[in-house]
């Protein structure tokens, strides 16, 4: 631990890591039943979908964007896959159709941001509203789509357990590995960092930034579909009304709390994992303490505020280097 | 026939106003306005009574409520931040004002002030965190959104029953919610007054400009010494207060402590602001945009609701409209200047009479000679761009320079020089008044005066605006030459109101009457435009009757005479209709005649192109600016003429060595002093049989 800290700046990632360890330790000491293996698994499982969404959001945020349509993309294509499979289409076809839907959403987001140059915040917000609208207009018979027996062949991604570890945790880890390799080992991943850091410089050096912006939104959408299938498999249904914004705020918080700056070009998969664990620990601890939903929100908000404030005091913004339009 | 049509078309069709309208800052608001009009037209075609008084009053009531919040978030957006917490602030304030009125039975003033204070306090939390702790606006307000919402939810379950079971006895409170003054709802009045104040604040007051400055460029604002942290923090306070105001009206109307109060409000107001054209990232925005955005979003949502559109379809329609409007607005914002560039240059038809004789033939009035070949050179390499020259009573020589100074050469040998005064803009025409104060026309700045103790003073930099003008023609863009009347009034020319000084070739390409003659009256300190629509009016000199002036119109190649008083007041007469070149300054000669500088010779090609406006328009649209035709400014020539328009004498520098072009000349005690805006020297020429006591500036008026 100290080795990890030595020689590193006290940045947000480290602060959140320390915060996570402190909270984890104090819960372990003061909360009976927190440290048991069963509870730890519950903790991770409860946030694994949030973590998977965080991975998709991380790609977009590193490329200096934001994707507010992820919850809609989580719900609607996944529910469509289930509806199609339930209607008798072969599972492979149903999944391909859902994938096509998700990719189309990502391309739409990307085109609006990269070519129409609409601020990502606004473009993805509107696309999210539109996707939710499509979900509501006759695509599904009921708002809550049940997991069809035809898809039971893949239901293990949300339900199965291997060596005592639930598959949804493994799904999170697998997604984390894939995203990590993409970001750190491939040229495209490197370009995402480049354009997130300085879009104009990346463009001048010959990176074709617009297709890459589209790519990052497509990846986010596909990851959202994956998260949706994991969620649906684990709860055996998909509520298409979950299009609400508090959840997307959680996803953004996971990403940013872990240390991926909204100004882009910084951070990686580790940051998402740390952010997810912190949120998961807080939620889990408070659930054990039987704190009400509103109380949980309040405490969570205060913790986050404290983390953000510590970061801005330790790494104050420099007026000379602050980027215009950072919000 | 077609020639007549062409003449009529170029005389009456106002080509130039399209570019000028497009250039106005309020054209940025064009797209939201068009979207609003389309929305109204669409829904009134689809829904009966969409425009009925009842529905309108209802819509306006809601729009005004929403408008408070949109205005608040707009201020934050203008500073370059974002405020997502408005939804929770709204809910908390709604709860507080209801509790104050219903449960505590507080007087209205008390309840309203407490609630506004709560809004300010909640906004201040955001403001301190973002302004002083420099936290990221998006994240911070997102977290405070969650925190405030949690506080609201915790409180709401405790107080909701108490609120619903008590009712306030306050007619004023009811009037806030349902009342109307002159059949316009109270809330609309309140919002209207606030909107007008905010508009004045943002466009006319210093603190409003500070907001725009911080949003436009935070770093520059910081470096100019603005209290950036405080401005940012206060913008969130303003947003909190405005949200509280909205919540008060909402509470008065519905009296509902619902758990879902304000849910999704942050998205609605953000959408409204962006639809209105307020940019994320700061520095751009206006009250009008906020209002337009509010109306659009409200009419669309209410219209879809009244058409009984299924929730899913209406979401799809809303998203599509939002994306289309945003795309259109962003494209418009990005490409407007290109459209302006293409449309702004609007050539006019200018038919110069043909040259009667070859100007270079020995028997023409303008037969070339070499009389300027042997001028005495003053200040070679020491002056740059002496557009005009003038001499004082001690024979010291003054000229302007490209660097914005007035240089003085000392008599008698003009070997020594000093900077007489620093102006800051390029000095053009100059003259002394009877007390030897130096009056200077400064390009881009206006009319200035250098007093005898070398103090530089502004005389005038604005004139009355023409009621039909689209570009602001009250500012002086290119004051060019001047003369002073015996009673102290000053007449000066402004070459063009459409272009800056360095853009004079574009004005020449237009050949339009963009210039004017302006009179400054020192007794009343009043500046009035006396003559408009002149084609690059340049040199000006008071004629012998002291009731008229002679002035040169450069691109029109004419000298005209204008009576500003006396029996012929207001009349303009032609003096020389057809000069072979482009006239510049005019000054008096000792024998009662006039000297005229010619800065360049006409060419057949340019004359032809002036008769073909369509050709020049194509050129200006299809070619880059440095490949456009421009008039020749390439010759040194001075002409002496009389008031009857006869050419009496011509002086040429045919080889163009000393004076490749001449913009001014001044006779002083038997010598002619010569300046040119592209020259690096001043020429001096001994005149034969000239009056050796004659001076053309300063004391000449008296006597």
DSSP string, B37-50: HHHHHHHHHHSTTT
C-alpha B236/C-alpha A327 separation (Å) is 14
Residues above pLDDT 90, as percent of chain A: 24
Ranges A135-139, A220-224, B82-86, B347-351: which has the least confidence: A135-139
pLDDT of amino acid A327: 61
- Each residue of B167-226: pLDDT tens digit? 887 888 888 878 778 878 888 899 999 999 999 999 889 999 999 999 888 888 888 999
Q: Most A CBs within 10 Å: which of B300, B314, B322, B329, as the mutation test of the A interface?
A: B322
**pLDDT, tens digit, 9 for 90 and up, residues A278-299:** 888 888 888 888 888 888 888 8
Higher pLDDT, B629 or B325: B629
Contacts of A270 (CB under 8 A, 6+ apart): A13, A258
Interchain pair A312, B316: CB under 8 A: no
* Residue A262, CA atoms < 13 Å, CB-side half-sphere: 22
Q: Three-state DSSP class for B164?
A: helix
Q: Do B219 and A126 touch (CB under 8 A)?
A: no
Strand B456-460 relative to strand B446-450, pairing: antiparallel
The answer to which of A28-37, B36-45, B491-500 has the lowest mean pLDDT is A28-37
When CB atoms are compared, the residue of A122, A127, A325 closest to B80 is A325
Q: Does residue B598 carry a pLDDT above 90?
A: yes
* High-pLDDT (> 90) share of chain B, %: 51
Best of A130, A303, A323 to substitute, by most chain B Cβ atoms within 10 angstroms, is: A130
- What is the three-class DSSP state of B178? helix
**Which among A133, A252, A322 has the least Cβ separation from residue B316?**
A133
Res. A9: pLDDT tops 50 = yes
User: Coil, strand, or helix at residue B408?
Assistant: strand
> What secondary structure does DSSP assign to A54-99, as a single string?
HHHHHHHHHTT---TTHHHHHHHHHHHHHHHHHTT--HHHHHHHHH
Q: CA of A137, closest CA in chain B: separation in Å?
A: 5
Q: Which of A276-280, B45-49, B127-131, B549-553 has the lowest mean pLDDT?
A: B45-49
Q: How far apart are CA B135 and CA B129, in angstroms?
A: 6
- State the smallest CA–CA distance between residue B40 and chain A in angstroms: 21
> What was the pLDDT predicted at B640?
95
Residue B431, pLDDT above cutoff 80: yes
Which one of B80, B129, B150 has the shortest CB-CB distance to A301?
B150
pLDDT average, residue stretch A67-82: 90
Cβ neighbours for B172, distance < 8 A, ≥ 6 positions apart = B108
Chain B residues closer than 8 Å to A246 by CB: 146
Tokens linked to B122? 């909640």
- Residues 37-96 of chain A with CB under 8 A from chain B are none
| Cβ-defined contact of B143 to A123 (cutoff 8 Å) | no
Q: Is A256 on the interface with B (CB under 8 A)?
A: yes
pLDDT at B284: 84
Q: Can you give the pLDDT at residue A129? A: 85
Minimal CA–CA distance to B411: which of B669, B625, B698? B669
| pLDDT score recorded for residue B357 | 65
The region of weakest confidence among B16-20, B293-297, B456-460, B603-607 is B16-20
For A:257-316, CB contacts with B below 8 A are 262, 292, 294-295, 297-298, 300-302, 304-305, 308-309, 312-313, 316
Interface check B271 vs A, CB under 8 A: yes
Neighbours of A208 (CB within 10 A): 11
Average pLDDT over residues A83-102: 90
Closest chain B residue to A135, measured at CA: B312
Name the pLDDT band for B437 (thresholds 50, 70, 90).
very high
Predicted confidence band of residue B686 (pLDDT cuts 50, 70, 90)? very high
| 3-state SS, one letter per residue, for B437-481 | CEEEEEECCEEEEECCCCCEEEEECECCCCCCCCCCCCECCEEEE
DSSP string, A238-302: EEGGG--HHHHHHHHHHHHHTT--TTSS---HHHHHHHHHHHHHHHHHHHHTT--HHHHHHHHHH
pLDDT(B702) > 50: no
Whole-number Å distance between alpha carbons of A209 and A298: 40
Interacting residues of B616 by C-beta distance below 8 A, sequence separation 6+: B347, B509, B510, B609, B610, B629
Say yes or no for a CB contact (<8 Å) between A112 and B323: yes
Q: What is the least distance, in Å, from the CA of A171 to any CA of chain B?
A: 28
For residue B334, the chain A residues in CB contact (below 8 A) are 117
Which of B149, B156, B315 to mutate to test binding with chain A, by most A CBs within 10 Å of its CB? Answer: B315
Note the pLDDT tens digit of each residue in A186-197.
999 999 999 888
Q: Do B144 and A302 touch (CB under 8 A)?
A: no
Q: What integer is the mean pLDDT of B510-520?
A: 93
Q: Which two tokens stand for residue B114?
A: 């407490």
- DSSP annotation string for B184-224: EEHHHHHHHHHHHHHHHHHHHSHHHHHHHHHHH-HHHHHHT
Share of chain A above pLDDT 70, in %: 89
Confidence category of residue B682, pLDDT binned at 50, 70, 90 = very high
Helix (H) or strand (E) holding B552, with range, is strand B548-553
What residues of B are in contact with residue A64 (Cβ under 8 Å)? Answer: none
Joined tokens for residue B592: 């009662």
Please give the average per-residue pLDDT across B289-318, as a whole number. Answer: 85
Q: How far is A247 from chain B (nearest CA, A)?
A: 11
Give the separation between CA B215 and CA B205, rounded to whole angstroms: 16
Model confidence at B599: pLDDT above 50: yes
Chain B residues with CB under 8 Å of A327 CB are 80-82, 136-138, 280-281
* Partners of residue B274 in chain A, C-beta under 8 Å: 119, 122
| Helix (H) / strand (E) containing A196 | helix A187-197
**ipTM tops the 0.90 cut:** no
**Treating both helix axes as pointing N-terminal to C-terminal, what angle do B137-165 and A245-257 enclose, rounded to 10 degrees?**
140
CB A47 within 8 A of CB A279: yes
Helix, coil or strand: residue B548 = strand
Mean pLDDT along residues A60-77: 90
Taking residues B421-445, what's their average pLDDT?
Answer: 92
Judge: A119–B274 Cβ closer than 8 Å, yes or no: yes
Q: What is the mean pLDDT of residues B289-294?
A: 93
Split at pLDDT 50, 70, 90, the class of B467 is confident
* pLDDT (mean) for B616-640: 90
Grade residue A183 by pLDDT with cuts at 50, 70 and 90: very high
**What's the pLDDT at A1?**
45
A133 touches chain B (CB under 8 A): yes
Q: How many whole angstroms from its chain centre is CA A276?
A: 9
Instruction: State how far the Cα of A180 lies from the Cα of A189, in Å rounded to an integer.
Output: 9
Minimum CA–CA partner of B150 in chain A: A294
A237-258 pLDDT, tens digit per residue, is: 787 777 665 688 788 888 888 8
- What is the spatial distance between Cα B391 and Cα B368, in angstroms, rounded to a whole number? 29
A245 touches chain B (CB under 8 A): yes
B225 lies within 8 A of chain A by CB: no
DSSP code of residue A319: T
The DSSP secondary-structure symbol of B695 reads B
**A125 vs B contacts (CB less than 8 Å):** 267, 270-271
Mean pLDDT rounded to a whole number for chain A: 83
Q: Which residue blocks in B519-655 are alpha helix, DSSP H? A: 604-610, 613-622
Which value, to the nearest 10 degrees, does the dihedral of the CA atoms of residues B49, B51, B55, B60 take?
170
Asked if A127 and B228 come within 8 Å (Cβ–Cβ), the reply is: no
Q: Quote the pLDDT of residue A197.
A: 83
Kindly list the residues from chain A whose CB atom is less than 8 angstroms away from the CB atom of residue B322.
Answer: 122, 126, 129
Task: Give the chain B residue nearest A121 (alpha carbons).
Answer: B280
A21, B31, B60, B321, B338 from B327: Cα distances, Å: 46, 10, 27, 10, 17
B586 phi, psi to nearest 5 deg = -120, 135
Which residue in this structure is represented by tokens 């803009």? B425
- B548 dihedral zone (left: phi>0; alpha: psi -120 to 50; beta): beta
Mean pLDDT of B236-262: 90
Distant-in-sequence, close-in-space partners of B646: CB < 8 Å, separation ≥ 6: none
- What local confidence, expressed as pLDDT, does residue B683 receive? 93
Which chain B positions have a beta carbon within 8 Å of A316's beta carbon?
A: 134
Q: What is the mean pLDDT of residues B440-449?
A: 94
CB contact under 8 A, A324 and B80: yes
Closest alpha carbon within chain A to B155: A294
Task: Give the distance from residue B554's alpha carbon to the nearest chain A alpha carbon, in angstroms.
Answer: 46
> Would you say residue A7 has pLDDT above 70?
no
From the list A161, A136, A132, the residue with the least C-alpha distance to A233 is: A161
Cβ contact, residue pair A327, B138, below 8 Å: yes
Nearest CA in chain A to B221: A319
User: Residues B231-240: what's their mean pLDDT?
Assistant: 95
If you average pLDDT over residues B9-20, what whole number do you get? 86
pLDDT averaged over every residue in chain B: 89
**The pLDDT of residue B410:** 94
3-state secondary structure of B550: strand
Per CB-CB distance under 8 Å, the chain B contacts of A137 are: 310, 312-313, 316
Identify the bridge partners of residue B541 per DSSP, sorted by sequence position: B550
The confidence score (pLDDT) of residue B507 equals 93
Q: What is the DSSP string of B595-607?
A: EEEEEEE--HHHH
A324 at B interface, C-beta within 8 A: yes
- Most B CBs within 10 A among A16, A122, A244, hence the mutation to make, goes to A122
Q: Touching check for A325 and chain B: CB below 8 Å?
A: yes
Residue B53 exposed, middle or buried by CB count within 10 Å (0-12, 13-18, 19+): exposed
pLDDT at A320 over 60: no
**Which residues in B113-133 are b (16+ Cβ under 10 Å) and which e?**
ebbbebbbebbbbbbbbbbeb
Q: Whole-angstrom Cα distance, residue B618 to residue B670?
A: 50
Q: Min CA distance, B184 vs chain A (Å)?
A: 34
Neighbours of A73 (CB within 10 A): 32
Give percent of chain B with pLDDT exceeding 70. 99
Give the whole-angstrom CA distance, residue B630 versus residue B509.
7
A190: how many CB neighbours lie within 10 A of its CB? 14
Contacts of residue A298 in chain B, CB cutoff 8 Å?
147, 150-151, 154
User: Any CB–CB contact under 8 A between B320 and chain A?
Assistant: yes
Q: Which of A203, A200, A205 is nearest to A323 (CA)?
A: A200
Predicted confidence (pLDDT) per residue in B336-349, tens digit: 888 888 888 999 99
Find the mean pLDDT for residues B401-424: 93
Please state, in angstroms and as integers, the Cα–Cα distance from residue A50 to each residue in A71, A74, A299, following that order.
10, 11, 19
Report d(CA B379, CA A268) in Å as an integer: 68
- Going along chain B from its start, the domains and CATH numbers come out as 13-339 (1.10.3470), 376-460+474-701 (2.120.10.30)
Question: What pLDDT shows up at residue B703?
Answer: 38
B139 CB within 8 Å of a chain A CB: yes
For residue A102, give Cα distances in angstroms to A140, A221, A223, B486. 17, 5, 9, 83
A247 touching B, CB under 8 A? no
Decide if B399 contacts B675 (C-beta within 8 A). yes
Six-digit token pair at B538? Answer: 């340049």
Q: Kindly calculate the radius of gyration of chain A based on its CA atoms and give it in whole angstroms.
A: 20
Chain A with chain B: Cβ pairs closer than 8 A: 156
């Amino acid at each position: 631990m100290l080795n990890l800290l030595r020689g590193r700046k006290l940045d947000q990632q480290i602060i959140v890591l320390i915060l996570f360890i402190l909270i984890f330790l104090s819960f372990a000491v003061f909360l009976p039943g927190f440290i048991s293996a069963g509870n730890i698994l519950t903790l991770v499982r409860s946030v694994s979908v949030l973590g998977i969404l965080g991975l998709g959001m991380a790609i977009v945020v590193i490329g200096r964007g934001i994707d507010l349509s992820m919850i809609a993309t989580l719900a609607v294509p996944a529910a469509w896959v289930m509806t199609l499979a339930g209607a008798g289409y072969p599972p492979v076809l149903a999944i391909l159709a859902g994938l096509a839907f998700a990719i189309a959403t990502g391309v739409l987001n990307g085109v609006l941001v990269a070519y129409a140059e609409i601020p990502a915040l606004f473009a993805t917000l509107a696309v999210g509203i539109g996707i939710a609208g499509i979900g509501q207009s006759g695509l599904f018979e009921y708002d809550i789509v049940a997991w069809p027996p035809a898809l039971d062949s893949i239901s293990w991604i949300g339900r199965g357990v291997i060596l005592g570890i639930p598959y949804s945790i493994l799904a999170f880890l697998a997604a984390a590995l894939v995203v990590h390799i993409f970001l750190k080992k491939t040229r495209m991943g490197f370009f995402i960092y480049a354009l997130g850091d300085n879009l104009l410089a990346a463009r001048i050096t010959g990176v074709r930034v617009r297709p890459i912006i589209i790519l990052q939104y497509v990846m986010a959408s596909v990851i959202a579909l994956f998260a949706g299938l994991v969620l649906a498999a684990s709860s055996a249904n998909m509520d298409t009304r979950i299009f609400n914004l508090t959840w997307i705020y959680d996803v953004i918080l996971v990403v940013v709390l872990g240390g991926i700056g909204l100004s882009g070009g910084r951070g990686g998969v580790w940051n998402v994992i740390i952010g997810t664990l912190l949120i998961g620990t807080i939620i889990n601890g408070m659930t054990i303490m039987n704190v009400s939903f509103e109380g949980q929100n309040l405490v969570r908000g205060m913790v986050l505020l404290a983390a953000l404030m510590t970061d801005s005091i330790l790494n104050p913004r420099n007026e000379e280097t602050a980027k215009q339009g950072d919000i | 026939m077609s020639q007549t049509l062409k003449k009529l078309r170029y005389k009456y069709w106002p080509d130039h106003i399209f570019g000028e309208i497009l250039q106005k800052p309020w054209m940025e608001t064009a797209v939201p306005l068009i979207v609003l009009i389309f929305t109204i037209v669409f829904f009134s075609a689809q829904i009966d009574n969409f425009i009925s008084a009842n529905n309108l009053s209802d819509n306006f009531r809601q729009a005004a409520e929403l408008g408070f919040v949109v205005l608040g978030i707009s201020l934050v957006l203008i500073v370059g931040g974002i405020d997502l917490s408005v939804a929770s602030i709204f809910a908390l304030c709604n709860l507080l004002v209801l509790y104050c009125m219903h449960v505590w039975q507080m007087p209205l003033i008390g309840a309203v002030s407490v609630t506004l204070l709560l809004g300010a306090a909640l906004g201040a939390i955001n403001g301190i965190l973002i302004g002083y702790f420099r936290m990221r606006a998006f994240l911070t307000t997102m977290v405070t959104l969650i925190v405030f919402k949690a506080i609201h939810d915790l409180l709401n379950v405790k107080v909701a029953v108490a609120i619903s079971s008590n009712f306030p006895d306050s007619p004023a409170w009811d009037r806030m919610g349902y009342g109307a003054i002159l059949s316009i709802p109270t809330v609309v009045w309140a919002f209207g007054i606030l909107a007008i104040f905010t508009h004045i604040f943002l466009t006319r007051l210093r603190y409003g400009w500070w907001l725009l400055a911080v949003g436009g460029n935070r770093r520059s604002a910081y470096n100019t010494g603005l209290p950036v942290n405080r401005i940012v923090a206060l913008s969130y306070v303003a947003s909190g207060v405005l949200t509280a105001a909205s919540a008060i009206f909402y509470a008065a109307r519905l009296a509902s402590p619902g758990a879902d109060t304000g849910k999704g409000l942050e998205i609605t107001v953000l959408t409204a602001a962006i639809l209105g054209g307020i940019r994320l990232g700061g520095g751009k925005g206006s009250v009008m945009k906020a209002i337009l955005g509010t109306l659009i979003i409200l009419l669309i949502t209410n219209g879809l609701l009244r058409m009984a559109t299924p929730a899913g379809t209406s979401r799809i329609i809303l998203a599509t409209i939002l994306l289309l409007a945003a795309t259109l607005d962003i494209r418009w914002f990005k490409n407007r200047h290109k459209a302006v560039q293409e449309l702004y240059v609007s050539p006019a038809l200018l038919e110069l009479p043909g040259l009667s004789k070859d100007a270079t033939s020995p028997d023409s009035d303008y037969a070339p000679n070499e009389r300027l070949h042997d001028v005495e050179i003053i200040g070679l390499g020491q002056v740059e761009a002496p557009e005009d020259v003038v001499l004082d009573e001690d024979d010291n020589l003054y000229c302007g320079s490209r660097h914005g100074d007035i240089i003085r050469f000392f008599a008698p040998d003009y070997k020594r020089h000093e900077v007489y005064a620093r102006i800051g803009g390029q000095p053009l025409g100059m003259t002394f008044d009877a007390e030897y104060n130096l009056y200077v026309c400064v390009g881009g700045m206006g009319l200035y005066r250098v007093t005898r103790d070398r103090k530089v003073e502004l005389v005038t930099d604005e004139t009355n605006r023409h009621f039909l003008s689209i570009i602001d023609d009250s500012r002086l863009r290119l004051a060019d030459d001047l003369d002073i009347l015996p009673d102290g009034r000053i007449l000066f020319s402004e070459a063009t109101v459409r272009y800056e000084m360095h853009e004079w070739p574009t004005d020449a390409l237009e050949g339009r009457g963009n210039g004017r003659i302006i009179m400054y009256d020192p007794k009343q300190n009043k500046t009035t435009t006396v003559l408009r629509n002149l084609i690059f009016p340049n040199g000006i000199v008071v004629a012998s009757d002291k009731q008229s002036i002679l002035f040169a119109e450069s691109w029109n190649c004419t000298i005209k005479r204008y009576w500003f008083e006396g029996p012929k007041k207001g009349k303009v007469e032609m003096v020389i209709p057809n000069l072979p070149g482009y006239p510049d300054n005019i000054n008096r000669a000792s024998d009662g005649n006039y000297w005229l500088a010619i800065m360049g010779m006409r060419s057949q090609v340019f004359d032809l192109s002036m008769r073909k406006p369509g050709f020049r328009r194509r050129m200006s649209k299809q070619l880059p600016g440095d490949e456009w035709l421009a008039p020749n400014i390439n010759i040194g020539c001075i002409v002496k003429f009389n008031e009857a328009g006869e050419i009496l004498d011509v002086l040429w520098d045919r080889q163009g060595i000393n004076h490749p072009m001449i913009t001014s000349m001044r006779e002083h005690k038997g010598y002619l002093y010569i300046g040119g805006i592209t020259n690096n020297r001043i020429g001096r020429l001994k005149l034969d049989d000239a009056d050796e006591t004659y001076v053309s500036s300063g004391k000449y008026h008296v006597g």
